[in-house]
Structure 1
Amino acid sequence: MGGLAVTAAAEPVWSVDPRTGKRREQVTAEAAPADVDAAVTAAAGAASALADLAARAAFLRTAAELLEGDAERVIATADAETALGTPRLTGELARTAHQLRSFADVVDDGAFLDVVIDHADPAAAPAPRPDLRRTKVPLGVAAVYAASNFPLAFSVPGGDTASALAAGCPVVVKAHPGHPATSELTGALLRRAAARAGLPQDVVRVVHGFDAGVALIRHPLVAAAGFTGSVRGGRALYDAAATRPRPIPFHGELGSLNPVLVTEAAAAERGQDIATGLAASFTLGAGQFCTKPGLVLVPEGTDGDRLLITLTDAAREVPPRVLLDSRIREAFLAGVRERLALPGVTAPVEPGEGEGLDVRAGFLSVPASLLAADSHAALTHECFGPVTVIARYGSPDEVEAVLAGLPGNLTATLHLSTAEREGGHGAAELVARVSALAGRVLVGGWPTGVAVTPAQHHGGPYPATTSPYTSVGTAAIERWLRPVAYQDTPAALLPPELRDDNPLGLARRVDGRREAGSGAAARLG
């Protein structure tokens, strides 16, 4: 269904039910190098059609409509392969459709081109100024590596695909092995949407298989890549992208601990509420969110003890859940065993195996003073699944020592008292301190759940991401564009958005002044 030709000797790709561990069906076959080449070459050949802004926006909106129109089948297929459940997947489908429509609006508006025009000025000091006009152009074919934990929103029809298409880049998606049937189904819907919008279906292609992912990042026609997954897999692809004869941008989301700091005053003021919220957050989706709070700094003493008692009760009430696949389950169990074997680590509620393929949620506890030791480094790295680490601190110095040893993160959360939220007791300094660790800082609340808005930033210092860009929100389009300046170029040779008569009706900056647009970009194409 993804337009993939396969060879007779190709390995089969199976859809597996994570609830039973049994194969459901053979979906397709792994792509051989020739298949990857055919997919990328076809996508590159379709790139010129995406120059039509009107067709581009119509394509994205039609894709959203087709996904919603086939929602029952899409959700049932995704649930059969991921065990995420109908309610969660219903929300994820709504988010996916929203992302597609949001990027269609971005194309309509045209501001993503960031048009700047500086007319020639022979009298400019210290030297005459030539006519300079800058816009942004698509990089070319984008390779997208689908995520395991979001079979829709971060996979074939997800944000990487939507943002790349909005930028004018055709996409070749390397499907995740955990949900191949969902990938094929949604890929077919995207290709159908392209045809309805008058575009070649090859603006979206889907390939399967580990070797296909390696061949994809090395293909000379691939101009950029987006990835969501493990540190190990992402780093290997990142290195491959950097060591190509012509290196390409690699926008990888690799892993995040998402630390939380509960101040002494906050624990005293509302420790029970914090504990209840934490239990719900680190077990949401069986702990399989990239924004799961994986390390929580809690004060020693009576108020911290009360918080842990509430957390213990809440965690024990969480029912066992099935994880996305057997590999993730084994990695979770191994990660818990590794951490429990460390000196000083206890498990007030021990996470581990449940009945059948279920796993139990739980949390670990450790003195914060031990986290500075190399022997305890595992506690400061993500363990994917329903577990978090509570680090008990006795002083601000212990808090700073922990923060100083943390890698980069997607999020960092502060739980403050009312007085601290109003600016007291060094709270502003705490906000500044954790801003160095993460791309999104929360004061109150929990990081699981990422709003898809223009102001959102889903990224952070390495290893959270390999580039400074966001993968959520409309600013994600920036990953797939590059600026080009035209000097003393005749009007007839300029792209439409750079001409003085502004035929696309874009908002622009001309000779240092902002000019409002008419919003005509997609209408005129």
Structure 2
Amino acid sequence: MAFIPTGKVLIAGEWQDGVTTFQSSPAHGPVHTFFSATLEQVNKACEAAEDAFWSFGYSSRAERAAFIRTIAAEIDARIEDIVVIAMQESGLPEVRLRGECGRTTGQLRLFADHIEKGDYLDRRVDPALPDRQPAPRPEIRLMERPIGPVAVFGASNFPLAFSTAGGDTASALAAGCPVVVKGHPAHPGTCEIIALAIEAAIKKCGVHPGVFSLIHDAGYEIAHALVKHPLIKAVGFTGSLAGGRALFDLCAARPEPIPFFGELGSVNPMFLLPEAIKARAETIGQGWIGSLTLGAGQFCTNPGIAIVIDGPDAERFIASAVEAASKVGPQTMLTDGIAAAYRKGQARFEASNAVKTLYRTESEGRQALPNLYETTGDRLLADHTLREEVFGPLGLVVRVGSVDEMITLAKGFEGQLTSTIHMDDADLANARRLLPVLERKAGRVLVNGFSTGVEVIDSMVHGGPYPASTNFGATSVGTLAIRRFLRPVCYQNLPRDLLPEDLAF
């Protein structure tokens, strides 16, 4: 029998009704009704998370690893139903969602492996120096400890890998932090079935039920109440700049300010150096469009801007990109609101005197087609709106007169998730000049690749200077993400029997 959502919220092991409701807006398939959480339910979820912390936060690494692996196994056991409801709600194709489900369970297992190794604890020991003059030194030890309950906001564009059991939840649980998830209203049914998998793992492993709660709301009141709750100690968020900045400001304005780890998107500029574009203009143009239009351009690492030195090679690149774009058919966007925002972004470009149209289409309803424009470096620097993200398959070519102008342009960009250099061996000297600028602007620098997508591995950074993210020292992808939910604690002169187990050696 196919999965049918109940529409309830999960509060510390209990599925509960709310008072008000909202309806899902699927790309296709049945519409379902969901309860919005009440302020009382938010409070109960946070109180339960705090209560759970006193056991879960002090559980062994082996116990937490087993729990996280059980969540992954429970998701695997429900994959057929997960794919069906996620396809209906998001409009994403089956192959993408099966892959994303694998990424979700893969990163859960990755964090289980990571905490078992113990390196993330960053244990440090300075032995006592009782004979030191003029004063002795006591023994001092350091270890990373979990910070407490964490609020996680699901992302619209990744209903699995960045949502209920996604990277924020996986890294928080691995750290020892209970989680309260605010499900995304674009895929509430998908949130519910993943929550069922987590609930099953909680019961199998005998974990405190307050370690995970799921709340819904189609508006803003519940989200604001969650980030302002005094028992929440950090927030993980993936979404728009406007929404993320509003929550960031709420976190900062609390009587006890807390860290807000928001990934807010970027335009991910590509810099096409002269020898590379001379040798591979057509190939780079085709590759750019493939990356730009993948998943209807609904990736935060979507390479929205290509900077190229004006001339015959630039013309070849543009012609190739336009030809490739003309072969891309309509794709379903994640929500009606995202589709409307994409059309609004296109209209902004159409109305600008600073841009020229290279390839124009008309997108209707929830469908999106690619659009390409061009401008100059001077105009891009003068008009900030041209450097703002348009979420969807819209690309901007920027013509510059020299590598020097390219570097000046790079310095004018705000923080980015990624920046890319396309180069050949003969471009090495110019690439060396460009790299220090891009290092300061982006969390990930690529050479001869396309930025769409990330690898879930130890060395990945998915973050960057503001406005790409709200904390330039953090990543939301890869095992380094666990550091967001830890803090160093120093233990001075404690007897061995009193030290935490992981530090008593």
Which secondary structure does the structure 1 equivalent of 2:96 belong to?
helix
Equivalent position amino acid for 1:292 in 2: N
Report the counterpart of residue 479 of structure 1 in structure 2. Answer: 484
User: Are 1:371 and 2:380 an aligned pair?
Assistant: yes
Contact 1:154-1:228 within 8 A present in 2 as well = yes
TM-score (normalised: structure 2): 0.94
Q: Secondary structure at the match of 1:222?
A: coil
**Contact 1:272-1:307 at 8 Å conserved across structures:** yes
Q: Deviations over 1:101-126 (max 9, x none)?
A: 01111121122111111121023366
Query: What corresponds to 2:209 in structure 1?
Result: 201
- Give 2:152's match in structure 1, choosing from 101, 125, 144: 144
> Which of 428, 452, 457 is equivalent to 2:456?
452
Contact kept? 2:9, 2:216, Cα under 8 Å: no
Q: Is the 8 A contact 1:288 1:385 kept in 2?
A: yes
* Partner Cα separation in structure 1 for residue 304 and residue 16 of structure 2: 43
1:443 aligns with 2:447: yes
In 2, the alpha carbon distance for the partners of 1:9 and 1:93 equals 29
Question: CA deviation digits over 1:204-239, x for unaligned, max 9?
Answer: 111111211110000010011110001111111111
- One-letter amino acid of the counterpart of residue 149, structure 2: V
Partner of 1:249: 259
In structure 1, what is the equivalent of residue 280 of structure 2?
270
The answer for the alignment partner of 2:35 in structure 1 is 29
How many angstroms does 1:351 deviate by?
A: 4.2
> Match for 1:219: what amino acid?
H
Distance 2:176 2:424 in 1: 47
Contact (CA 8 Å) 1:78, 1:182: kept in 2 or not? yes
Report the alpha carbon displacement of residue 436 of structure 1 after superposing the two structures with TM.
1.1
- Give secondary structure in 2 for the equivalent of 1:16: coil
Q: Which amino acid aligns with 1:425?
A: A
1:405 corresponds to which residue?
412
Q: Which amino acid aligns with 2:441?
A: L
Separation (CA, whole Å) in 2 of partners of 1:403 and 1:152: 34
SS in 1 for 2:233: strand
CA distance in 2, matches of 1:49, 1:351: 56
User: What amino acid does structure 2 have at the position aligned with 1:181?
Assistant: G
For 1:321 and 1:83, locate their aligned partners in 2 and report how far apart those are by CA, in whole Å. Answer: 9
2:305 aligned with 1:295: yes
C-alpha offsets along residues 67-89 of structure 1, whole Å, 9 cap, x if unaligned?
11111110111111001110111
Once residues 483 and 418 of structure 1 are traced to their aligned partners in structure 2, the CA distance between those partners, rounded to angstroms, is 44
CA RMSD, aligned part only?
1.6
- Give 2:24's match in structure 1, choosing from 15, 19, 28: 15
Count of aligned positions: 491
Counterpart Cα distance in 1 of 2:381 and 2:416: 18
Structure 1: 5+ residue stretches without partners: 501-525
Deviation at 1:47, TM superposition (A): 1.6
Shift of 1:140: 0.3
The equivalences for 1:116-127 within 5 A come to 116-124=124-132, 127=135
For residues 266-311 of structure 1, give each alpha carbon's deviation from its aligned partner in whole angstroms, at most 9, with x where no partner exists: 1101111101110000101100000000111022111110111110
1:38 aligns with 2:47: no
Identity of aligned residues (%): 42
Mapped contact 2:149–2:179 kept (Cα < 8 A): yes
- 1:196, 1:412 → 2: CA distance? 44
SS in 2 for 1:308: helix
* Paired position in structure 2 for 1:490: 495
Shift of 1:469: 0.5
Would the aligned equivalents of 2:9 and 2:17 in 1 still touch at CA under 8 Å? no
- Report the 3-state secondary structure (helix = DSSP H, G, I; strand = E; otherwise coil) of the residue aligned with 2:446: strand
Q: 1:131 to 1:314 in 2, by over 3 A?
A: same
Q: Partners of 1:446 and 1:9 in 2: how far apart? A: 44
Instruction: State the distance in 2 between where 1:363 and 1:485 align.
Output: 55
Distance, in Å, in 2 between the alignment partners of 1:478 and 1:386 is: 33
Contact 2:149-2:231 within 8 A present in 1 as well: yes
**Pairwise CA distance, 1:6:** 8.9
Structure scoring higher RCO (CA < 8 A, sep ≥ 6) equals 1
Secondary structure of 2:418's counterpart equals strand
Contact 1:44 1:141 in 2 (8 A): yes
The question of whether the paired residues in 1 share the 8 Å contact of 2:304 and 2:389 is answered with yes
Distance 1:8 1:147, change over 3 A: closer
> Deviations for 1:218-263, whole angstroms, at most 9, x for unmatched residues?
0010011110001111111111111111111111111211111001
Where does structure 2 lack aligned partners over 5 or more consecutive residues?
1-7
Counting only pairs closer than 5 Å after superposition, residues 182-331 of structure 1 correspond to structure 2 as 182-209=190-217, 210-331=220-341
State which of 404, 428, 433 in structure 2 corresponds to 1:429: 433
* Structure 1 position 353 matched with structure 2 position 363: yes
Q: Distance in 1 between matches of 2:120 and 2:17?
A: 44
